[in-house]
Structure 1
Amino acid sequence: MNKFWKWKNQSIRYVHQPPPKDLYPTPLGTVILIHGFGGNCDHWRRNLLPLSSSGLSVYAIDLLGYGYSSKPNPKSLIAKNNASDPSSLNSETSIDFSSFPKKYNGSPTAVSSYDPRIGSTPFTDMEHPLGSAYNFYTWSEQVNDFINEIVPSSSVHLVCNSIGSCVGLQTSISHPSKISSCTILDPSLRLLNVKRQSPFVRPFVRGLQYLLRESDIGSAFFGNVATRKTVKNVLEQAYSDGKQVSEELVDCILDPGLERGAVDVFLDFISYSGGPLPEEQMRIIDVEELDIPVGIGWGKDDPWEPVEDGRAFKRFECVKRFEEFEGVGHCPMDENPGVVNDFIVGFIDGVINEG
């Protein structure tokens, strides 16, 4: 059942699935599920009840701009960004990024022997290049405030997919006392990030992003994307087994994307070529010695985020478990919920029992 929470004058949709009271008068733990790009709470529809049946109190939340949460225009948010204003949405404005390169580039995990695509990027370009509030720092504050105001627990386990993984990791960094563990499923390697791009390609990418975001071409592009046929085709590419892409799933993804404001959020995010990479976030967790166990699950057939690249994440001390799922693509929690639910519960149980 959908519920709505007012956050900084914005409406945020979430769902809650408590454990059966007759078996678990007190939940064994609390979980917040965080979706990926273009997703929402409904992408976890096959996980809520199974996870709660294991004794967990399970929440799923629509990030600002996605699902049925508010979608304020990115350009209007830029004008209102003010770190001293409690209603300001852009949490980038309160972070001093100047110390990042010196503090973390010399860390033990910043070694040149890593795969060149991950594990050794410099701590630069950590902000949204266009200043929008749609960034991982804002979303992490949204999750933190959700814990403070809605979740009856001071310590939760985050479970995230794709770009939601950067949200979960950032929440773990910014508010480590609130987070017991962070499970990331097929985390986005953020190939559009400026640190992934060749210096020769960057001007062309930046120009294309600006053209899409600032002209009618972007709206036309979104109009071609936001159709049943295109959404179904994209999902079939992301999923290893195209038969898992049901009409119900297409509706779950497409319907919120047709809401007013969705086109501006979409175009703003594909212009978000700055911000943290997952390996930078895990490096911070290691260097700061934050007690945040990270579990990683990865579909072996993920066409967007190759597991071959992701295996380098095993080198981080915070990564306590890394599991690959056979015959699964980019959204394992929906493609093979039985296996993935067992992985999530097993990792969280291990964290709880060790604690």
Structure 2
Amino acid sequence: MSSSSTAPISTNIETKTWSWRGFPIGYKTQGNQGPAVVMVHGFGASSGHWRKNLPVLAENCRCYAIDLIGFGASAKPAPGIEVDYTFETWGQQIADFCREVVGGPVFLIGNSIGCIAAMQAAVDHPDIALGIALLNCSLRLLHDRKRAELPWYRSFGAPLVQGLLSVNWIGQLFFGQLAKPKVVRNILLQAYRHPEAVTDELVDMLMAPAADVGAGDVFIAFTRYSQGPLPEDLLPILPCSATIFWGTEDPWEPIELGRELANFPTVEEFIPLAGLGHCPQDEAPEIVNPVLLDWILQHSAQR
């Protein structure tokens, strides 16, 4: 097994397009032997967020990183008219991708909301999942059921903002203010604990899809989405085991709450990643790649 700290970033990642329900879906792939792995990005990100992981894992695996519909290079059809942007939709997309593009069951790796989408795919389609790795799983703290547990004075703010965003011109203005390089960089500097990892390349990669037609509508639709599953709904009914990895310095998804997810029987292990933030796979691939590869190969050998 090669170390990701010495392996150079390969230029052999292929960027491809797959048609799903008549919509173009972007994805990246590398590797032609070994177990199949599908990586699922978080909110506002894309398959490019795995560009530092694909080449290293591809030395031993067949690797894919998918753009969820509405993000990255994938189509951004009108919310509620052409597509419902829910975890059930993304779960179906992931499952169909595994069957039609990969050709069989896979190890799923998710980051942030990508963890929820991956678990939804496994729960709804047990045949496609060999195991799941969750990197800083979204706790969905703005979910309706989460807010119901808060005192009234702490729970009314989010619905008020969501209501304002439903007004088209306000929502588009809000998205326009966020979709600026300086703002994106500042958000990333909150999420990443190593500022040197917030490069121009990363900012440009996340900014590019924001210029696509429909990008603002998708962003607003998901910002207003406070229903659907919580991680604690999906973990107990997973058809496979899960391993949780968590950057200890995540400012958005507190590790203290994340550790509670390890109490479910389907969770094999909870692995803290010391000093890392919300997107550890991109912030410190030299740390994350070896543990992900060990996880994949160990579970593949067991099968």
Equivalent residues of 2:99, 2:105 under 8 A apart: no
Scaled by the length of structure 1, the TM-score of the pair is: 0.79
Superposition map of 1:65-104 within 5 A = 65-77=70-82, 89=83
Q: Could you tell me which residue of structure 1 aligns to residue 69 of structure 2?
A: 64
Report whether the alignment pairs 1:215 with 2:168: yes
Query: Separation in 1 of the partners of 2:168 and 2:41?
Result: 28
Q: Could you tell me which residue of structure 2 aligns to residue 354 of structure 1?
A: 302
Query: Separation in 2 of the partners of 1:349 and 1:75?
Result: 41
| Residue type of the alignment partner of 1:231 | V
Superposition map of 1:14-33 within 5 A = 14-19=27-32, 27-33=33-39
Equivalent residues of 1:239, 1:329 under 8 A apart: yes
Query: Separation in 2 of the partners of 1:193 and 1:56?
Result: 36
Q: Could you tell me which residue of structure 2 aligns to residue 299 of structure 1?
A: 247
Query: Separation in 2 of the partners of 1:320 and 1:167?
Result: 19
Shift of 1:204: 4.5
TM-superposition CA deviations, 1:175-197 (whole Å, max 9, x none)? 11211001010001011101111
> Structure 2: 5+ residue runs without aligned partners?
1-13
| Residue type of the alignment partner of 2:51 | R
Equivalent residues of 1:163, 1:187 under 8 A apart: yes
Shift of 1:352: 1.3
Report whether the alignment pairs 1:309 with 2:257: yes
Query: Separation in 1 of the partners of 2:134 and 2:279?
Result: 11
Q: Could you tell me which residue of structure 1 aligns to residue 57 of structure 2?
A: 51
> Structure 1: 5+ residue runs without aligned partners?
20-26, 78-88, 90-132
Q: Could you tell me which residue of structure 2 aligns to residue 115 of structure 1?
A: none
Shift of 1:203: 5.0
Equivalent residues of 2:132, 2:242 under 8 A apart: yes
TM-superposition CA deviations, 1:77-116 (whole Å, max 9, x none)? 3xxxxxxxxxxx5xxxxxxxxxxxxxxxxxxxxxxxxxxx
TM-superposition CA deviations, 1:274-305 (whole Å, max 9, x none)? 110111100222xxxx2x11011100111111
Q: Could you tell me which residue of structure 2 aligns to residue 193 of structure 1?
A: 143
Report whether the alignment pairs 1:147 with 2:98: yes
Superposition map of 1:188-337 within 5 A = 188-197=138-147, 198=150, 200=152, 202-285=155-238, 290=239, 292-337=240-285
Q: Secondary structure at the match of 2:174?
A: helix
Shift of 1:259: 1.2
Query: Separation in 2 of the partners of 1:247 and 1:14?
Result: 22
Mean Cα displacement is larger for which, 173-182 or 29-38? 173-182
Superposition map of 1:35-50 within 5 A = 35-50=41-56
Query: Separation in 2 of the partners of 1:346 and 1:18?
Result: 17
Equivalent residues of 1:71, 1:265 under 8 A apart: yes
Cα distance 1:74–1:199, how it changes in 2: closer, same or farther (>3 A)? farther
Instruction: Give RMSD over aligned pairs.
Output: 1.3
| Residue type of the alignment partner of 1:28 | G
Shift of 1:202: 4.8
Query: Separation in 1 of the partners of 2:151 and 2:168?
Result: 25
Scaled by the length of structure 2, the TM-score of the pair is: 0.92
Query: Separation in 2 of the partners of 1:75 and 1:168?
Result: 22
| Residue type of the alignment partner of 2:35 | G
**Structure 1 segments of 4 or more deviating over 6 A?**
none
Equivalent residues of 1:187, 1:305 under 8 A apart: yes
Q: Secondary structure at the match of 2:102?
A: coil
Q: Could you tell me which residue of structure 2 aligns to residue 111 of structure 1?
A: none
TM-superposition CA deviations, 1:221-265 (whole Å, max 9, x none)? 111100000000000000011111000000111111121110000
Equivalent pairs, count: 287
Query: Separation in 1 of the partners of 2:260 and 2:137?
Result: 13
